[in-house]
Structure 1
Amino acid sequence: MSDPVIDQAAGTTCGPDADTPGCGATEPVQLGPQAREFLRALASEQRQQMLELFTGGIELTVGTVAERLGIAQPTASQQLALLRRGGLLISRKHGKQVYYRIDTAAVERSLTELQTYLHTCCPPPDEHNP
């Protein structure tokens, strides 16, 4: 038997036989705009490499990211902006420097939305009824 999926936006629980609006194949399932931006941000191998630099919750400036990856500072700035727009990074300004770090809470929200989407649109097969 499949685990029920909770549609957090609508506050509904969807099971394998649920006729609740937003559940099953009766209504199309869509990702929210933030989850789409999250996936776009992760679509680039270079941005994935950038994320690895922030392991352990450290903060880095654009210049440091550019130096560590061997890329131009404007390129690093553009890529960091896409990661921030995707909810993967947050920034804070200290003097003239902007420091970036992983936005753990936003990443968790996006992953939860993605998991809900996948369970709703493409539920795993019932273990007892393949």
Structure 2
Amino acid sequence: MMSWNTLSDLLKALSGETRQKILLELFRDGKERTVNQVAEEMGLGQSTASEHLTQMKRAGILASRRMGKEVLYRPDREMLLSQLQGLIQLVEECCPPEP
């Protein structure tokens, strides 16, 4: 079963309109991007983009790797699928179908 903290992080990461736009853009092509690239593409400040990416990574939506001084972010398909499956399981267990 999904822990409360995991569920909370996932829902926070998916709740913001800006994070949704970032997520859709990253999943559109699956390419890695730096914070600065995300900031430029989304019209955000670097620190704002960094906060959004950190929240999404904490939720398991994104993975990152360091390359020199840069951190590259990419979609974490398997983790997101696992998180969503956990959410589906939670709903199925708590809320039986109507007769």
How high is the TM-score relative to the length of structure 1?
A: 0.70
Which deviations, in whole Å up to 9, do the C-alpha atoms of 1:86-106 show, x marking residues without a partner?
Answer: 110010011111100011111
Answer yes or no: is the 8 Å Cα contact 1:57–1:102 preserved in 2. Answer: yes
Aligned counterparts, 1:111-126, within 5 A: 111-125=84-98
Deviation at 1:52, TM superposition (A): 1.5
Confirm whether residue 103 of structure 1 aligns to residue 68 of structure 2: no
Q: What do you get for the CA RMSD once the two structures are aligned?
A: 1.2
SS of the aligned residue for 1:123 comes to: coil
Tell me which stretches of 4 or more aligned residues in structure 1 moved more than 6 Å.
none
Answer yes or no: is the 8 Å Cα contact 1:91–1:98 preserved in 2. Answer: yes
The amino acid that maps onto 2:80 is V
Larger radius of gyration: 1
Deviation at 1:122, TM superposition (A): 1.1
The amino acid that maps onto 2:36 is G
Match in the other structure for 1:94? 67
User: 1: distance between equivalents of 2:48 and 2:85?
Assistant: 30
Match in the other structure for 2:9? 37
Match in the other structure for 1:5? none
Which deviations, in whole Å up to 9, do the C-alpha atoms of 1:61-118 show, x marking residues without a partner?
Answer: 0000000111100000011000001110010011111100011111011111100100
* Unmatched runs of 5 consecutive residues or more in structure 1: 1-8, 10-30
Confirm whether residue 80 of structure 1 aligns to residue 53 of structure 2: yes
* Unmatched runs of 5 consecutive residues or more in structure 2: none
Answer yes or no: is the 8 Å Cα contact 1:53–1:65 preserved in 2. Answer: no
User: 1: distance between equivalents of 2:60 and 2:10?
Assistant: 6
Q: Where is the helix percentage greater, Structure 1 or Structure 2?
A: 2
User: 2: distance between equivalents of 1:34 and 1:109?
Assistant: 11
Answer yes or no: is the 8 Å Cα contact 1:87–1:106 preserved in 2. Answer: yes
User: 1: distance between equivalents of 2:19 and 2:72?
Assistant: 16
Q: Which moved more, 1:47-56 or 1:74-83?
A: 47-56
